[in-house]
Structure 1
Amino acid sequence: MKKIILSLAVLVFAASCQEQEKIAFIDNGKVINDYQMKIDIEDKFKTQNENFSKQRDSIARTYQMEMQSIQQRLATMSPQKQQEESQAFSQKWQPVQQQMQMQQQQMEQMFSTEMDSVISKMNKFVEGYGKKNGYTFILGKNQAGSVVYGDEAKDITENVIEAINESYNGKEAKTEEETAEEATEEK
């Protein structure tokens, strides 16, 4: 009987000595959407896209005007001459169309690469933030439902957004981890 009580006391003591795990969650989408780096990248690409659209529209107007002109001339030509002129027109504009498609694909690829970088930096930042603040786990709440419900007291989304934006705004002088550590020390 004494052994059972002693064993039970040891188990209770061992359980009470264990550190409480610190678990929180963030709304991944909100952190990404409010991350100033992402906002800056979107603004940069929005401007590039607007410039590209203006260039594309200008070329399209030139193409349309030239197309109308050639259509009027084709009406007075023989069928063979019409075919030759049509081919020459197509060959003239084909490289321009290919160049425009290539430019658009490059812009999309650059945007995708930079957005991947944003996500990677956010993940590294959250990892450093978690380590610095003693979290065992920081879960991500998203559309897929990895965290369907979480007590609002465990939601550190706003803290992470504030810290990651402070880190981004001071990025020239410090590494992300150093800034994450400083931001968490202030809290």
Structure 2
Amino acid sequence: MKSKIHEYQKRNIKNMSKKALVIIALSITILSCNKPATVVKEVKTAYVDTSVLMKEYTEAKDLEAKYKAKSEEKGRQLDAEIARFKQEAAGFQAQAQANGQAWAQQKGAELQKREQQLSYAQQALSQELQQESGKEMDSLVSGVKKFIKTYGKENGYTYIYGTGDAASILYAEDKYDITKLIIKALNDKYKAAAPKDEKAVAKK
């Protein structure tokens, strides 16, 4: 009698264990179903060749042309003074023989002093133009970076890399190159912001 009771208890425990395993398995399945699926975001990348961009960006070309003209304009007077100095220096030897040693020493010292002054004037003009153009170029580059950042956000890019003279990317497939798209967008924006009189000249 005792053995029958013992066997019945064993069967009961075994059945209870099976039921417990089934309940646990069902619970895990339900929890798995209720867990939200992880959304894998697409990593959209591209790159811009910054050296090409700066060559073809209209504002950058206009800035370069502006300072080239400014350099020519400010350097014109200085070039005239340098030309006069060269003429005097070329005739100095013949005049020195005619006017004597005392005159030659005095005139030679004057020419040397003028040569130094002209050299300093050239350096000062070059530094002035470099500082002015450098400030404007820094402002332009900063604007381009902001534009690309906004462009990336609006067009769903995860990363937009830069290649060119100061780049860290050594290789990228051509299909990821959006340089032309950025140049067109920047040029369109620059053209739209240009004053009306400049637009009229551009049409001519």
TM over 0.5: same fold? yes
**Structure 1 length normalisation: TM-score?**
0.73
Structure 1 residue 143: Cα displacement: 4.2
How far the C-alpha of 1:30 sits from its partner, in A, is: 1.6
Counterparts of residues 19-168 of structure 1 (less than 5 Å):
19-52=41-74, 54-143=76-165, 146-168=168-190
The question of whether the paired residues in 1 share the 8 Å contact of 2:52 and 2:164 is answered with: no
Distance of aligned partners of 1:140 and 1:84 in 2 relative to their CA distance in 1, 3 Å threshold: same
Which amino acid in structure 1 is aligned with residue 146 of structure 2?
Answer: K
Note closer, same or farther for the CA distance 1:152–1:67 as it changes in structure 2 (3 Å cut).
closer
Deviation of 1:161 after TM superposition, in Å, equals 0.9
Structure 1 pair 24–68 and aligned structure 2 pair: CA distance change class (3 A): closer
Structure 2 CA distance for partners of 1:145 and 1:7, relative to 1, 3 Å: farther
Structure (1 or 2) with the larger CA radius of gyration: 2
Aligned to 2:52, what secondary structure does the other structure show? helix
Gaps of 5+ in 1: 174-187
1:160-183 deviations in Å (ceiling 9; x for gaps): 11111111122369xxxxxxxxxx
With over 3 angstroms needed to count, the CA separation of the structure-2 counterparts of 1:139 and 1:68, relative to structure 1, is closer
Separation (CA, whole Å) in 1 of partners of 2:92 and 2:84: 12
**Following superposition, which runs of at least 4 residues in structure 1 exceed 6 angstroms of deviation?**
3-12
Task: Tell me the C-alpha RMSD between the 2 structures.
Answer: 3.0
Equivalent pair of 2:57/2:187 in contact (CA under 8 Å) = yes
- Shift in CA distance, 78/130, structure 1 to aligned 2, threshold 3 Å: same
Q: 2:52 aligned with 1:13, yes or no?
A: no
The answer to whether the Cα contact below 8 Å between 1:24 and 1:156 also exists between their aligned partners in 2 is: yes
Give the paired residue count: 171
TM-score, normalized by length of structure 2? 0.68
Task: Structure 2 unaligned segments of length 5 or more: list them.
Answer: 1-23, 196-204
Q: Check the 8 A contact 1:32/1:122 in 2, yes or no.
A: no
Taking the aligned partners of 2:31 and 2:51, their CA distance within structure 1 comes to 48
Determine what percentage of the aligned residue pairs are the same residue: 26
